[in-house]
Copies of this chain bind each other. A is one copy, B any other.
Amino acid sequence: MAKSLTSSSEKIGLSPGSLIHVGEVFDNDTVITLINYDATTLEEKVISSVEEMLPYRDKSSTTWINIEGLQDVELIRTIGKAFKIHSLVLEDILHTHQRSKFEDYENYLFMVVKNLSLGLGDFSIEYEQISILVFKNFIFTFKEKPTLLFDPIKIRIQNSKGRIRKFSSDYLAYVVLDTVIDEYFSLQDSLDELMEQIEDELLLSPSTETLNTIQHVRRELIFVRKSISPLRELLSGLHRSDSPLIDEKNRRYFGDVYDHALRVIESMESYRELITGMMDIYLSSVNNKMSETMKVLTVFASIFIPLTFIAGVYGMNFEYMPELKMRWAYPALWGVFITVSVGLMIYFKRKKWL
C-alpha cells in the first residue's frame, strides 16, 4: 500500500522529460485494444503497433485505444511522436506516482486519475494510475495492468445501448471517469462493512487486534484521501474548461461526475472522523478495563488485609495475652472477622464496586 509513496526517487538524476517507466512493474505484456465506432458501425481488435492506429486518426468515427501495461516505453514514445503529445505528458503517463490532474493542451485534453480497487486479504487497497488523452474523435486510455475495469464500457458499446454510440470522444471520457469513480463507491461499501465490524468489536471485546485494524484503516484512509482529493480540482477544471473538445451538451455529464467525486471525498472525511472517535473509544475501553481490575484487587486486598492482621495478632506468642485463655474468644473473633468483611462489602457495594 505504501507503494504509492515509495520509489518516487528512482528517476533522480535523470533529465526531466526523459522517458522511463517509474512505478511498480507488473509482469505482463502490454495489451493494446482498439475500438472504433459510430452510431452504426463497430470494430474492435487487439493491435500490436502504432502503425495500426494511424489510419483511424482522421476518421470521423470515434476511436478508443486502450493500452494496458506501461513497460514498453518505446511504444509510448512512438505514440507521442505520431500524435504530437508533449514530452511532459508522456512522462506523466509513465511515472505512475502522479497526482490526479487535468491539463488542457491545444489539440487534446490530458487527465490522470487513480483507480482504487480492493485487493485480497485484510482491506488492502490497490492503486492503479489511469491516464486519459482526449483528441477530437480519438481517445487513449493508459492503464498499468490488464484488469476487467473497462469491460462494462466495452459491452455497452457493443450493445449499442445508451447514448454512448451517438456521442464522441468527450462522452467516452466521461464514461471512463464515471466508471473509475463508481469503483470508489464499492470501496466505500467495503469500508462501511469494516467500520461496522470494528464498532462491534469495540463494544464487545476490544483487543490490541482491534487497535491494529483501526490504525490500518486510518493509514489506508490517509492514502485514499491523498489519491482522491485532487479529483475535486481535476473535475472542476474540466467543468470550467472552455476547450472545443468538450461538447457544450456533454458538460453537464462532467458536472455529474464532479458531484459523485464530492460525495466520495466527503464520505472519506466522515470515515476519518469516525476512526478518530473509535480510537478514543478504544483508549477509554483500555482504561475502563484497568479500572475494573483495580477494583477487584482493591476489594480483595482491603477485605482480607485487616483480617489477616487480626489473625496475626492472636498468633503472637506473648505469655500474657488474656484473650487467648478465654473460651468464647475464638468464636467471638470469627464474629469480628465476619462483621469486618460484611461491613467492608457493604462499603464497596455503596461505592458500586461490587
Binding site for B on A (CB under 8 A): 2, 5-9, 11-18, 86-88, 91-92, 97-99, 101, 103, 152, 156, 161-164, 174-175, 178, 182-183, 185-186, 188-189, 192, 195-196, 203, 205, 208, 211-212, 215, 218-219, 222-223, 226, 252-253, 255-256, 259, 262-263, 266-267, 270, 273-274, 277, 279-291, 293-298, 300-302, 304-309, 311-321, 323-327, 329-330, 333, 337, 352-353
A297 to B161, CA, bound (A): 72
Partner of A289, one of B5, B97, B285, B291: B291
Chain B residues lying within 8 Å of A195, measured Cβ to Cβ, are: 2
Partner of A222, one of B15, B270, B333, B353: B270
Chain B residues lying within 8 Å of A262, measured Cβ to Cβ, are: 99
Chain B residues lying within 8 Å of A186, measured Cβ to Cβ, are: 9, 12
Q: In the complex, how many angstroms separate the beta carbon of A329 from the nearest chain B beta carbon?
A: 6
7 smallest beta-carbon distances between A and B, as pairs = A311-B312, A314-B316, A9-B186, A15-B162, A297-B298, A315-B315, A300-B302
Chain B residues lying within 8 Å of A284, measured Cβ to Cβ, are: 211, 279, 282-283, 286
A182 to B15, CA, bound (A): 11
Other A-B pairs, 6, CB within 8 Å; known A9-B189, A86-B252, A316-B317: A222-B270, A291-B293, A297-B302, A300-B306, A307-B309, A319-B324
What are 14 A-B residue pairs whose CB atoms fall within 8 Å in the complex?
A: A2-B195, A5-B188, A8-B185, A15-B164, A18-B162, A87-B163, A98-B259, A218-B277, A293-B295, A300-B302, A307-B309, A315-B316, A316-B333, A318-B323
CB within 8 Å for A99 and B308 given contacts A11-B182, A291-B289: no
A97 to B262, CA, bound (A): 12
Looking across the interface, which residue of chain B has its beta carbon closest to that of A193? B6
Q: Please determine whether A301 and B291 come into contact, CB atoms closer than 8 angstroms.
A: no
Partner of A290, one of B91, B274, B294, B301: B294
Q: In the complex, how many angstroms separate the beta carbon of A330 from the nearest chain B beta carbon?
A: 4
Give the dominant DSSP class at A's interface.
helix
Looking across the interface, which residue of chain B has its beta carbon closest to that of A266? B226
Partner of A211, one of B6, B212, B281, B313: B281
CB within 8 Å for A215 and B281 given contacts A259-B99, A294-B290, A312-B312: yes
Q: Please determine whether B2 and A226 come into contact, CB atoms closer than 8 angstroms.
A: no
Q: Please determine whether A17 and B163 come into contact, CB atoms closer than 8 angstroms.
A: yes
Q: Please determine whether A330 and B321 come into contact, CB atoms closer than 8 angstroms.
A: yes
Q: Please determine whether B277 and A219 come into contact, CB atoms closer than 8 angstroms.
A: yes
Partner of A226, one of B205, B267, B352: B267
Chain B residues lying within 8 Å of A296, measured Cβ to Cβ, are: 298, 302
Q: Please determine whether A277 and B98 come into contact, CB atoms closer than 8 angstroms.
A: no
Q: Please determine whether A152 and B13 come into contact, CB atoms closer than 8 angstroms.
A: yes
Chain B residues lying within 8 Å of A280, measured Cβ to Cβ, are: 279, 283
Q: In the complex, how many angstroms separate the beta carbon of A327 from the nearest chain B beta carbon?
A: 5
Partner of A287, one of B18, B174, B274, B283: B283
Chain B residues lying within 8 Å of A290, measured Cβ to Cβ, are: 287, 290-291, 294
Q: In the complex, how many angstroms separate the beta carbon of A136 from the nearest chain B beta carbon?
A: 21
Q: Please determine whether A222 and B9 come into contact, CB atoms closer than 8 angstroms.
A: no
